Chain A
Amino acid sequence: MIHLEGITKAYKIAKRSTGLRQAAKALFYREHTIVDALMNISFSINQGEIVGYIGPNGAGKSTTIKIMSGILVPDTGKCTIMGYIPWKERTQYVKNIGVVFGQRSQLWWDVPVMDSFELLKDIYKVPQQEYKSTIDLLIETLELQEIVSTPVRQLSLGQRMRCEIAASLIHNPQILFLDEPTIGLDAVSKIAVRQFIKTINKEKGVTVILTTHDMNDIEALAERVILIGKGSVLYDGYLEELRQRFGTHKTITADYGKNANPIHIPGASTLSWTPERVVLSIDTDQLKTSDVITQLSNQVELIDVAIEAQPIEDIIVQLYKEYQI
């Protein structure tokens, strides 16, 4: 469905140092640097997948999204999506996609949200019947009942974002590009948005490509992740695999009846210790969790044990470190 091969894109950026003297100099002569935003990006995505597209700031995530939505023309490489070349057959192609740029707005600032929706309906030539049922579904699942008749300028960021997402789906696209869709959302809205993305993926088979810095989004939605750094694809595979490869650390917190002797378990490092509680960190490659608990119960009278896997955030940080990005 989506196929990218050897996509390269470089930006030409004017640069100058700070200060008045430099500014004056730049009037006559400008230095340009070429920034390689993307270097040889290739991947394929099948229909109905939800793919998390992650990477540190400036890695080239948004650039890829822009190329895939036909806004940017890459320098080299091939990209076909649903049989179209996005930037060449733009008008034909964009009917099939929905895009949310988390940092930009597509709604008309001064008029109620509903008016913007109606305009989009006409732009995409959506039949009235279809529009009605789509909009009802969107309003219900994204909880927009109370805000659709408010002018956009009076909405909060989170409310606006939910409307933006709805606006991108009015024409029932088959592919949805989400560029940081949960920016600035509160916990409730985030969950609503995630739930919604899952629903349209399941029920309508919409392919979703999602960039975000919130790893909880990725965990909640994506089975597959593509990690990009400094313009290259570093990892492309299942999230679960990533976890198995890197997330081998577990934290065990144990509460027990008062015990004055410090606890020592070979192979596990003690993060903190009090007479009532100990926090241990173990590497599951070397030591089984069950063994640790057995040893613990031999030494003290256990009241409660909590085992936490390493959060996905930490795994990603570790990944960034490993690839030095």
Chain B
Amino acid sequence: MKVYISVLKLRLSMGMQYRAAALAGVATQFFWGFISIMVFEAFYQHAVQTPPISLKELIQYIWLQQAFLVFVMMWFRDNELFDLITSGNIAYELCRPSGLYGFWYAKLLAQRLSSAFLRCFPILIVACLLPKPYNLEPPTSITSFLLFLSALLLGLLLLVAISMFLYISVFITLSPMGSLLVFGVLSEFFAGLVIPVPLMPVWLQKIAYVLPFRWTADFPFRVYSGHIPVHDAIIGILIQLTYLTVLVLLGRTTLNGVLKKVVVQGG
């Protein structure tokens, strides 16, 4: 356990170095947030029937998505791990007495946490101060806020578990580009990061509800805005936990499987 904490610490201190990147990220996310809100507002003004999610709820959804972007985006990746695999430096990782899965999981988690630390607060604060109706409202109740927090953190753990498969796939393909694109597009879309899940056609919603991706982003954001009521949120958290357990176990087994076959060539 101590190892994981020190990986987290080291990675945090490392991530904090990149202030310019964080600043640029904050600026981009504001820009992006405004554009999305404007686009959806235009759609909502001309909607024939009442949309399944109100504009106010949608705005909460978008600001949270922008603030916690690194918690929910699959493309936010650790190139060092890819390099480790493709360059063969993994040889060193294999000489360590700790399991690779936990070690890398901690690394990836820490990377996302450290980036989020620097980015989420400015966005959240400014978004709260924006004029109505474009502002981020405080949560509807303490219960829903606590539920949101646990859903968000579980979502993060789940996303890291999913992204582990990305790194495992590089052992076989040796190039991260393909897996990144496939994983990136699929997960982003089905997590509701392009179009919020409630706005998808019903048949697409059905697919999205089966896949694990939406539990990483769509679910916690809708818990916050109150679109998902407390009772459903608690069930949702249980589903998140189940997914997390299954994916971690599956990832572990797969990783151990590929490690048995890995051949570090050269030098």
A contact residues vs B (CB 8 Å cutoff): 11, 62, 66, 69-73, 90-92, 94-95, 97, 99, 101-106, 108-111, 115, 118-119, 122-125, 179-180
Query: Contacts A11-B263, A111-B14, A119-B10; is A90 near B94 (CB within 8 Å)?
Result: yes
Residues of A near B267 (CB, < 8 A) are 62, 101-104, 179-180
A88 to chain B, nearest CB (A): 11
Residues of A near B95 (CB, < 8 A) are 69-71, 94, 97, 99
Which residue from A11, A94, A110 sits with its C-beta under 8 Å from B265?
Answer: A11
Closest to B5 in A: A122
Interface stretch of the complex, out of B85-93, B130-138, B161-169, B227-235: B85-93
Query: Contacts A106-B92, A122-B2; is A72 near B264 (CB within 8 Å)?
Result: yes
Residues of B near A180 (CB, < 8 A) are 267
**A91 touching B91 by the CB < 8 A rule?**
no
Which residue from A11, A69, A103, A110 sits with its C-beta under 8 Å from B17?
Answer: A110
1/0 per residue, CB under 8 A from A, across B38-81: the answer is: 00000000000000000000000000000000000000000010
Closest to A86 in B: B95
Residues of A near B7 (CB, < 8 A) are 119
**A123 touching B3 by the CB < 8 A rule?**
yes
**B10 touching A115 by the CB < 8 A rule?**
yes
B98 in contact (CB, < 8 A): yes
**A91 touching B97 by the CB < 8 A rule?**
yes
A116 to chain B, nearest CB (A): 8
1/0 per residue, CB under 8 A from A, across B233-267: the answer is: 00000000000000000000000000010011111
Residues of B near A72 (CB, < 8 A) are 263-264
CA distance in complex: A115, B263 (Å)? 29
Query: Contacts A94-B95, A104-B87; is A71 near B264 (CB within 8 Å)?
Result: yes
Q: Assuming A11-B265, A101-B267, A124-B97, what are 19 further A-B pairs, CB within 8 angstroms?
A: A62-B266, A69-B95, A70-B95, A71-B95, A94-B97, A99-B92, A101-B91, A101-B92, A103-B266, A104-B92, A111-B13, A111-B14, A115-B10, A115-B13, A119-B6, A119-B7, A122-B3, A122-B6, A124-B96
**A66 touching B264 by the CB < 8 A rule?**
yes
Residues of B near A94 (CB, < 8 A) are 95-97
CA distance in complex: A99, B265 (Å)? 16
Query: Contacts A104-B267, A108-B10, A111-B13; is A123 near B98 (CB within 8 Å)?
Result: yes
Q: By CB atoms of chain B within 10 A, which of A73, A91, A110, A180 has the most?
A: A110
Place the interface of chain B in its size category. Answer: 20 to 34
Closest 10 CB pairs of A and B: A103-B267, A106-B92, A122-B6, A104-B89, A95-B97, A71-B94, A122-B3, A99-B95, A94-B95, A91-B97
CA distance in complex: A154, B10 (Å)? 18
Residues of A near B178 (CB, < 8 A) are none
**B91 touching A108 by the CB < 8 A rule?**
no
Residues of A near B99 (CB, < 8 A) are 91
CA distance in complex: A110, B83 (Å)? 14
A230 to chain B, nearest CB (A): 17
B13 to chain A, nearest CB (A): 7
CA distance in complex: A118, B7 (Å)? 10
Residues of A near B14 (CB, < 8 A) are 108, 110-111
**A104 touching B88 by the CB < 8 A rule?**
yes
CA distance in complex: A167, B258 (Å)? 27
Closest to A13 in B: B265
Closest to B265 in A: A11
Q: By CB atoms of chain B within 10 A, which of A71, A94, A179, A180 has the most?
A: A71
A58 to chain B, nearest CB (A): 10
Closest to B93 in A: A106
Residues of A near B92 (CB, < 8 A) are 99, 101, 104-106
B106 to chain A, nearest CB (A): 11
CA distance in complex: A103, B266 (Å)? 9
CA distance in complex: A110, B16 (Å)? 11
**A123 touching B10 by the CB < 8 A rule?**
no
Residues of B near A66 (CB, < 8 A) are 91, 264
Closest to A90 in B: B94
Residues of A near B96 (CB, < 8 A) are 94, 123-124
27 contacts between A and B (CB under 8 A): A11-B265, A69-B95, A71-B264, A72-B264, A91-B97, A92-B97, A99-B92, A101-B91, A102-B267, A103-B267, A104-B89, A104-B92, A105-B89, A105-B92, A106-B92, A108-B14, A109-B80, A110-B14, A111-B13, A111-B14, A119-B10, A122-B2, A123-B96, A123-B97, A123-B103, A124-B96, A179-B267
A98 to chain B, nearest CB (A): 8
A174 to chain B, nearest CB (A): 14
Residues of B near A62 (CB, < 8 A) are 266-267
A253 to chain B, nearest CB (A): 40
CA distance in complex: A187, B109 (Å)? 43
CA distance in complex: A70, B93 (Å)? 11
Residues of B near A111 (CB, < 8 A) are 10, 13-14
Residues of A near B260 (CB, < 8 A) are 73
A167 to chain B, nearest CB (A): 9
CA distance in complex: A199, B94 (Å)? 27
CA distance in complex: A91, B98 (Å)? 7
CA distance in complex: A62, B263 (Å)? 12
CA distance in complex: A263, B93 (Å)? 64
Residues of B near A105 (CB, < 8 A) are 89, 92
**A71 touching B91 by the CB < 8 A rule?**
yes
B105 to chain A, nearest CB (A): 14
